[in-house]
Amino acid sequence: MQTLHSVTFFYNQPLTFRARKSEIPKENKKTRFVSDSKKVNVSGVLDKNIQTYRMWFLFLKLALELEQQGAVLIVRNNNQKGEKKGAKLVKKIKVNKKRYKGWDLEQVLISHFNDWWGSHSHLFLDEGIRILADGETVKEQSGYVTVRVNTNRRIRDVFADLRRCIEKTPQARHKSQNKFSVIGNVRPLALQNRYNALLLKMKGLSDKEILDFRNKHIRIADARVVKGYTSEHKSRLMYGLISGEGGAKQILLSVCDGYFLKNPNKSHLC
């Protein structure tokens, strides 16, 4: 059991395949990938790959449905020395809705990500580079720098110079200042594995069923997963996916607080 009482899911289903290009909303068709895995479009810059925000959305959707049913999450069984036998660390699922202003949470619960993203992607965009209009006055503003570019130079050299100029700027922080910025390094495939593992355990599937490669619930993201498929000790891999540091339960509770991947102020595991 992952919750004190059984839950039934109407809005959340496990992921099987990665989204194809044809599934990307029309509003993002002009988006192009750059070498550092960020995304740029005509409206601004995403700090992380779009799949990161898809997983944030899905964990939040899961939290909303669990909250709707009054679910109490079993974070871990207390089996440490000196702890009462059979005791559990539990936390009631409650989403901090004030942290999600502008998300339209009632839509998150009942919508598919692609439908929701089209009208909410602006929440995650940082302003990108733009060319000033003729006659436009430059205004001093914290976090911004104005540059003049010789358009006759090679683009590659311009990028290199621009990088050096920005790095020398005292106010350069080298990280997103967006209200909904992602905390930590993201591996979308590993996130999908964690999401699926928790959701399927809540649905009552066994470790063996979840880790059966033929069911396509867990994708091979690293050597640990490969070993988990072939090992008789599948519970160790499942513990890492669900209950360990950086596991699905910690992500879920951090999302309830308004953070992804991890609440910087609270572990939730102790």
| pLDDT recorded at residue 27 | 45
Residue 31's pLDDT is what? 37
DSSP 3-state percent helix, strand, coil across the chain (nearest 5): 40, 10, 50
Please report the beta strands in the chain, taking only residues with DSSP state E, as ranges in sequence order. 32-33, 39-41, 44-46, 72-77, 88-92, 125-126
Between CA 233 and CA 61 the distance in angstroms is 31
With 0.85 as the threshold, say if the pTM is over it: no
The answer to whether the beta carbons of residues 228 and 237 sit under 8 Å apart is: yes
pLDDT at 120: 95
Closest CA to 75 of 255, 247, 195, 234: 247
Torsion of CA 63, 70, 72, 99, to 10 degrees: 40
What's residue 236's pLDDT? Answer: 82
pLDDT for residue 221 = 63
pLDDT digits (tens, 9 = 90+) for 4-13: 899 999 999 9
Taking a C-beta distance cutoff of 8 angstroms, is the pair 165, 84 a contact?
Answer: no
pLDDT tens for the chain, 270 residues long, are: 899 899 999 999 999 755 444 434 444 444 333 334 446 554 678 888 999 999 999 999 999 999 999 999 999 876 655 556 666 889 999 999 999 999 999 999 999 999 999 999 999 988 777 787 888 887 777 777 788 888 899 999 988 988 888 777 766 555 666 789 898 888 888 999 999 999 999 999 998 888 887 778 888 765 555 555 555 567 788 899 999 999 999 999 999 999 999 999 998 988
pLDDT digits (tens, 9 = 90+) for 127-140: 777 787 888 887 77
Residue-wise burial string across 224-249, b where 16 or more C-beta atoms lie within 10 A, e elsewhere: ebeebeeeeebeebbebbbbbebbbb
Q: What are phi and psi of 188, to 5 degrees?
A: -50, -40
Q: State how far the alpha carbon of 65 is from the alpha carbons of 8, 60, 195, in Å.
A: 9, 9, 14
Handedness of CA 122, 125, 127, 128 (dihedral sign): negative
pLDDT at 22: 45
The predicted structure's pLDDT at residue 46: 87
pLDDT at 102: 96
